[in-house]
Chains A and B, each alone.
Chain A
Amino acid sequence: MKVVYMDNNATTRTAPEVVEAMLPYFSTYYGNPSSMHYFGGQVAKEVQEARSRVAALIQADPAEIVFTSCGTESDNAAIWGTLNSYPDKKHLITTRVEHPAVLNLATYLSKRGYRVTLLPVDREGRLDLDQLTAAITDETAIVSVMWANNETGVQFPVEEIAEIVKSRGAVFHTDAVQAVGKIPIDLSRTPVDLLAFSGHKLHAPKGIGVLYIRRGTRFTPFVIGGHQEKGRRGGTENVPYIIGLGQACRQAQTHLGEENKRVRALRDRLEQGILDRIPNVLINGDRGSRLPNTLSVSFEYVEGESILLLLSNLGICASSGSACTSGSLEPSHVLRAMGVPFTAAHGSIRFSLSIYNSEEEIAYVLDRLPPIIERLRAISPFWKKRTAEAG
Chain B
Amino acid sequence: MWDYTEKVKEYFENPKNIGEVENPDGVGEVGSLACGDALRLTFKLDEDQRIKEARFQTFGCASAIASSSALTELIQGKTLEEAEKLTNKDIAAFLGGLPKEKMHCSVLGEQALSAAIANYRGRTIPKQQEGEIVCECFGVTDKEIERVIRENGLKTREEVTNYTKAGGGCETCHDKIEALLARVLKEEREARPAEGPPRPALTNIRKMKLIEETLEREIKPALKADGGDIDLIDIDGNKVLVALRGACSSCRAAEVTLKDYVELKLKEFVTPEITVEEVKP
Contacts and interface: CB of A to CB of B under 8 A. Distances in A.
B61 A339 contact: no
B233 A306 contact: no
Interface residues of B, number: 41
B101 A327 contact: yes
Interface string B167-187: 011100000000000000000
Interface string A108-126: 0000000000000011000
Interface string B21-51: 0000000010011101111100000000000
Interface stretch (A188-196, A234-242, A328-336): A328-336
B231 interface: yes
A328 B232 contact: no
Interface string A302-341: 1111100110010000000011110111110000100101
A380 interface: yes
B95 interface: no
B15 interface: yes
A381 B57 CA distance: 5
B244 to A, nearest CB: 12
Given A306-B65, A341-B232, A379-B18, A329 B59 contact: no
A379 B65 contact: yes
A20 to B, nearest CB: 30
Given A341-B231, A343-B33, A382-B38, A329 B161 contact: yes
A346 interface: yes
Given A306-B61, A329-B165, A122 B38 contact: no
B64 interface: yes
Given A324-B36, A381-B59, A330 B65 contact: no
B58 interface: yes
Contact of B138 (A329, A339, A346): A329
A261 interface: no
Given A339-B233, A341-B231, A382 B36 contact: no
A301 interface: yes
Contacts of B216: 389
A324 B33 contact: no
A381 B18 contact: no
Nearest to A346: B36
A381 B39 contact: yes
Interface residues of A, number: 33
Nearest to B221: A389
Contacts of A341: 231-233, 243
B281 A123 contact: yes
A326 to B, nearest CB: 10
B120 interface: no
A346 B13 CA distance: 19
A339 B38 contact: no
B74 interface: no
A301 B62 contact: no
A342 interface: yes
Interface string A348-391: 00000000000000000000000000000011111010000100
B137 interface: yes
A303 B13 contact: no
A381 B38 contact: yes
Contacts of A382: 33, 38, 59
Interface in B266-281: 279, 281
B60 A329 contact: no
A330 B137 contact: yes
A331 B281 contact: no
Contact of B169 (A123, A303, A329): A329
A306 B60 contact: yes
A51 to B, nearest CB: 36
A185 to B, nearest CB: 31
Contacts of B231: 339, 341
A380 B40 CA distance: 9
Contact of A380 (B57, B232, B243): B57
Interface string B134-173: 0001100000000000000000000001000100111000
A336 B243 CA distance: 13
A305 B37 CA distance: 11
A310 B15 CA distance: 13
A323 to B, nearest CB: 5
B262 to A, nearest CB: 15
B144 to A, nearest CB: 15
29 contacts: A122-B281, A303-B60, A303-B61, A306-B62, A306-B65, A322-B36, A324-B37, A324-B64, A324-B102, A325-B61, A328-B169, A329-B36, A329-B165, A329-B168, A330-B170, A336-B234, A339-B233, A339-B243, A341-B231, A341-B233, A343-B232, A379-B15, A380-B58, A381-B29, A381-B38, A381-B39, A381-B57, A381-B59, A389-B216
Interface of B: 2, 12-13, 15, 18, 20, 29, 32-34, 36-40, 57-62, 64-65, 101-102, 104, 137-138, 161, 165, 168-170, 216, 231-234, 243, 279, 281
Given A324-B102, A342-B233, A346-B59, 4 more contacts: A324-B36, A324-B61, A339-B233, A381-B59
